[in-house]
C-alpha cells in the first residue's frame, strides 16, 4: 500500500483519546511528545489499559512486550540489559537502528527502569502505524484490493467485509529484529 488507509493525524487523535480516557485527564493535556510516565503520571497498568483501548479501536494487537525485552528473548539474555539492569552498548546500537536519531534517545549504562518513561504518544502512533502497514495488498478471503476503514477504526475488506489480518505488534518487532540480524546487525552477546 502506498497511501496509508488511516492517516497519522487520525491515529494520533485516537492515541490522544485512549491516553486521556485511561488516565482520566483532558485530551488537551496530552501532547505528541509528552512522556506518559513523567508528564502524565501513567503507571505500568495504565500502559496496558491504553494499549487495550487502541486494540479495540483499530482491531489490532499492540505489543505485549517492550522492544528491549524482545531483543533479550531473541538474541539472548544479557545482550541488551546487563546483570545490574542497565543498557548495554549493543542495546543502544539496536535501538538507534530501529528508532533513528529523531526518536527518543538511550545511552549505554542507562537503567532499564528509565526506558518506559521514553514512551510518548508519538511512540504509540508509530507502533499503530507499523501494525496497520502490515495489511496485505489484497484481501486473502476474496482477493479484492478494496480495503475500507470502518468508522475511523478497524480496516475491513470493501469486497467481502472480512477484517484485515494484521500482524501483532510483537510480530512486527520480532520480524524487524530477525531482519536486523539477517542484515548482519552488530549483535554480540555480552559476557
Partner 1 sequence: MGPCHGRVALITGSSRGLGRVIARKLSDAGADVVLNYRKAGGRSEAQAQALAKELVERGSRAVAIQADISQKDAVATMCQEIAARYGRLDILVLNAARAPFKAVSELLRRDLLELVENNYLGNVYCMQQALPLMQGRPGHVVFVSSLGSRFALPSYPLGSMKAAMEALVKQWAVELGDRQITVNGVTAGLLKTDSLIVLRQYWPGVERLPATAFVDLEDVASVVLFLCTDAARAIRGQSIVVDNGLTNQLLYPTSTG
User: Which residue lies nearer to partner 1 by CB, 33 or 77?
Assistant: 77
User: Which residue lies nearer to partner 1 by CB, 99 or 117?
Assistant: 117
User: Which residue lies nearer to partner 1 by CB, 94 or 149?
Assistant: 94
Contact indicator for 34, 40 with CB cutoff of 8 Å: yes
Q: Compute how many residues bind partner 1; rule: CB under 8 A.
A: 20
Residue 169 exposed, middle or buried by CB count within 10 Å (0-12, 13-18, 19+):
buried
Task: List the one residue from 15, 19, 30, 37 that touches partner 1 (CB under 8 A).
Answer: 37
Task: List beta partners, residue 87.
Answer: 81
Decide: is 60 part of the binding site for partner 1 (CB under 8 A): no
Binding mask 111-140 for partner 1 (x = CB under 8 A): -x----------------------------
Decide: is 72 part of the binding site for partner 1 (CB under 8 A): yes
Choose the binding region for partner 1 from 48-56, 98-106, 118-126, 130-138 (rule: CB under 8 A).
48-56
Decide: is 46 part of the binding site for partner 1 (CB under 8 A): yes
User: Which residue lies nearer to partner 1 by CB, 69 or 129?
Assistant: 69
**What φ, ψ does residue 46 adopt, rounded to 5°?**
-65, -35
Contact indicator for 31, 121 with CB cutoff of 8 Å: yes
- Interaction site with partner 1 (CB under 8 A): 23, 37, 41-43, 45-46, 48-49, 51-52, 64-65, 69, 72-73, 77, 81, 85, 112
Amino acid at each position: 500500500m502506498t497511501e496509508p488507509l488511516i492517516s497519522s493525524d487520525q491515529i494520533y487523535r485516537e492515541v490522544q483519546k485512549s491516553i486521556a480516557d485511561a488516565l482520566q485527564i483532558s485530551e488537551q493535556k496530552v501532547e505528541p511528545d509528552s512522556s506518559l510516565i513523567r508528564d502524565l503520571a501513567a503507571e505500568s497498568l495504565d500502559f496496558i489499559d491504553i494499549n487495550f483501548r487502541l486494540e479495540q479501536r483499530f482491531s489490532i494487537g499492540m505489543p505485549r512486550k517492550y522492544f528491549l525485552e524482545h531483543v533479550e528473548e531473541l538474541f539472548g539474555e544479557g545482550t541488551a540489559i546487563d546483570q545490574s539492569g542497565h543498557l548495554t552498548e549493543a542495546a543502544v546500537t539496536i535501538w538507534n537502528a530501529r528508532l533513528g536519531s529523531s526518536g527518543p534517545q538511550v545511552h549505554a549504562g542507562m537503567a532499564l527502569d528509565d526506558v518506559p518513561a521514553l514512551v510518548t504518544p508519538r511512540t504509540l502512533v508509530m507502533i499503530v502505524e507499523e501494525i496497520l502497514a502490515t495489511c496485505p495488498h489484497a484481501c486473502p478471503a476474496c482477493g479484492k484490493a478494496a480495503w475500507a476503514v470502518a468508522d475511523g477504526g478497524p480496516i475491513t475488506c470493501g469486497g467481502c467485509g472480512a477484517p484485515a489480518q494484521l500482524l501483532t505488534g510483537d510480530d512486527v518487532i520480532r520480524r524487524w529484529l530477525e531482519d536486523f540480524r539477517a542484515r548482519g546487525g552488530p549483535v554480540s552477546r555480552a559476557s
